[in-house]
Amino acid sequence: MLAFILYKYFPFGGLQRDFLRIAQACQQRGRAIRVYTLSWQGEIPPGFDVRVAPVKAWLNHRRNEKFTRWVEADLAREPVARVIGFNKMPGLDFYYAADACFAEKAQTLRSPLYRLSGRYRHFAAYEKAVFEPQAKTRILMISAAQQPLFARHYGTPPERFLMLPPGLDRSRRAPANAAELRADFRRVWHLGEDEMLLLQIGSGFKTKGLDRALKALAALPPALRTKTRLIAIGQDDPRPFLRQARLLRLERQVSILQGRDDISLFLLGGDLLIHPAYHENTGTVLLEALAAGLPVLTTDVCGYAHYIAEAAAGVVLPSPFAQEHLNAQLAALLADPAARRRHGKNGLAYAERPELYALPQTAAAFILADLPD
């Protein structure tokens, strides 16, 4: 029996999708799966023992602490072979490092006063429990850029870091009838032949830079702006961004949708993925766009942005970020259909590489290593 722990499960989060595929890869190797969580949305996979902790608190970090104690008590009653966490917390055998280094962000992006808060003390302690030198937790890394940050703040021994390849889902690859699916999608969404569709996909609109994308759309030359639409998709509160769209007089061109299970159709039907994230540990949607033949415009802070550059599948904006640079690159790409076609073809060719799809199986191999059959 393996225990997987994550604070929240919903079908459309990147961390959540990775958890599910890794757990299922372990299940396919004959292991029983137990899941601890505070919230589960959607169907429960066959054979999964999902245990939703009955804990409540006004503050998130207090709720996390109660959750940890509840899980520890349940595991003491019913032990398992290994405990795999998808959020930082004490008592893990493996931690899937989907989140960036908290200590680094707290020191570089927050005021010193923040480090006096209870929230800071909680998350700092939970991160330290995973990465401090004397901890036993092995770390499943998905971003090579984060490893030196954890090592610098905590002195984590290098042998505890286990690097994973990307986890691109093969269902995102453009099928043989991609052109037909694209035409059908554009009919359903009433997109004319001369209209262009920008996509921004990912939960956490602020982190993903939706505000930057809206500013860039508003800054387009009038001839481009009037024939360009933006659809953003993700689990988040859309209201601040709908207000921003109204202030920028874009309300007729902007739609914000909740997470959904037909993302592959949007990737085939769009003209450009815009992903000007403030910070992003990986950015799986970048690879999903690449595999669908959709050009990408992103920032270099995304862990997977280098794949876009290597594939010549779009444009990667260098740091430090400049809104004017994003505005100019968006206008240039939308005005150049030949460049977009070239980026799309390059992405499709790069997506043939098998190593882009190996994350679940590689993670399962690490987790199950040395366990008796």
pLDDT of 216 higher than 90: yes
Report residue 144's pLDDT band, with 50, 70 and 90 as the boundaries: confident
Mean pLDDT of 214-223: 97
Does the structure show a pLDDT above 80 at 373?
no
pLDDT (0 to 100) of residue 271: 98
pLDDT at 261: 87
- Checking if the pLDDT of 94 tops 90, the result is yes
Per-chain mean pLDDT for the chain: 96
Strand partners, 196: 228
pLDDT at residue 14, as a whole number: 85
Mean pLDDT of 206-213: 97
Residue 12: what pLDDT? 82
Using CA atoms, how far residue 171 sits from 140, 174, 177, 288, 294, in Å, is 24, 8, 13, 9, 15
Q: Is the pLDDT of residue 311 over 80?
A: yes
pLDDT at 331 over 90: yes
Q: Rounded to an integer, what distance in angstroms lies between the CA atom of residue 353 and that of residue 348? A: 10
pLDDT at 235: 87
> Can you list the domains of the chain with their CATH numbers?
2-165+358-368 (3.40.50.2000), 170-353 (3.40.50.2000)
- Residue 217 scores a pLDDT above 90: yes
Q: pLDDT tens digit string along 23-39?
A: 999 999 999 999 999 99
Residue written as token pair 């073809």: 345
| Residue 197 confidence class, pLDDT cut points 50, 70, 90 | very high
Helices marked H in the chain — which ranges? Answer: 14-28, 60-77, 102-108, 118-131, 147-154, 178-188, 205-208, 210-218, 222-225, 239-247, 263-269, 284-292, 305-311, 323-334, 337-350, 359-368
Distances from the Cα of 232 to the Cαs of 70, 174, 293, 332, in angstroms?
37, 21, 19, 21
76, two tokens:
């003491």
Q: What pLDDT, on a 0 to 100 scale, did the predictor assign at position 293?
A: 98
Given a cut of 90, is residue 191 above it in pLDDT? Answer: yes
The pLDDT of residue 289 is above 90: yes
Query: pTM here?
Result: 0.86
Contact present, 38 and 63 (Cβ < 8 Å): yes
- Structure confidence at residue 75 (pLDDT): 98
Q: Which pLDDT band holds residue 334 (cuts at 50, 70, 90)?
A: very high
Residues of the chain with pLDDT > 90, as a percent, come to: 91
Give the model's pLDDT for residue 143: 87
- pLDDT above 90: residue 279: no
Q: How confident is the model at residue 110 (pLDDT cuts 50, 70, 90)?
A: confident
